[in-house]
Amino acid sequence: MAGRSIISLDRTKMALCPHCNADTIRMHAKAWSSAAEPTKCTSCGGLSYIANTHGTSVGRTLAASLPVLTLAALFLTGALWPLALAAAVVIGAFVYEALVFYRTPMLPTTSAGVVEARHWQRVGLAILAILGVVVMIVIWGGRAV
């Protein structure tokens, strides 16, 4: 164990399959997996996906608030230290998100679960399409008046 770092930059690092616990799922496959499009274990053929593909609430909060806070601090102080602080926070958040992603376990699923997930994905997309059409009708209707 001596000489190994906590964060491995090895590109061959894999994620554990929840079915057979083999280290066979590539990080790219893990990142792009979802309930409707799971990845397949090369060892046992089991299907699995990562539940949270959008990162943590820390990353989303920083992405929404950090630019505004940085600009406000720049305006109020008239100095450049808020930019350096914001850069340090962004780098720290990036490292935190990478560690959380790496540690997030894969969830097992079955072929029937994939069919159901794809069904609900299509239902959600249909609802969004209908909502988009309604919004366009309301906008065009407002212009006609």
Check residue 61 and report its DSSP letter: H
Range 25-29 contact pairs with CB under 8 angstroms and sequence separation of 24 or more: 25/106, 27/102
* H or E, element range at 82: helix 81-103
Give the predicted TM-score (pTM) of the model. Answer: 0.64
Sheet hosting strand 47-49, strand order edge to edge: 39-40, 47-49, 107-109
* H or E, element range at 72: helix 57-77
pLDDT digits (tens, 9 = 90+) for 74-115: 888 888 888 888 888 888 888 888 888 888 889 999 999 999
Can you give the pLDDT at residue 124?
Answer: 95
For all residues of the chain together, what is the average pLDDT?
A: 84
Residues 6+ apart with CB under 8 A from 25: 14, 15, 16, 17, 39, 41, 48, 106
Give the C-alpha separation, 37 to 32, whole Å: 8
Please work out, in degrees rounded to the nearest 5, the angle formed at the alpha carbon of residue 47 by the alpha carbons of 44 and 52.
Answer: 135
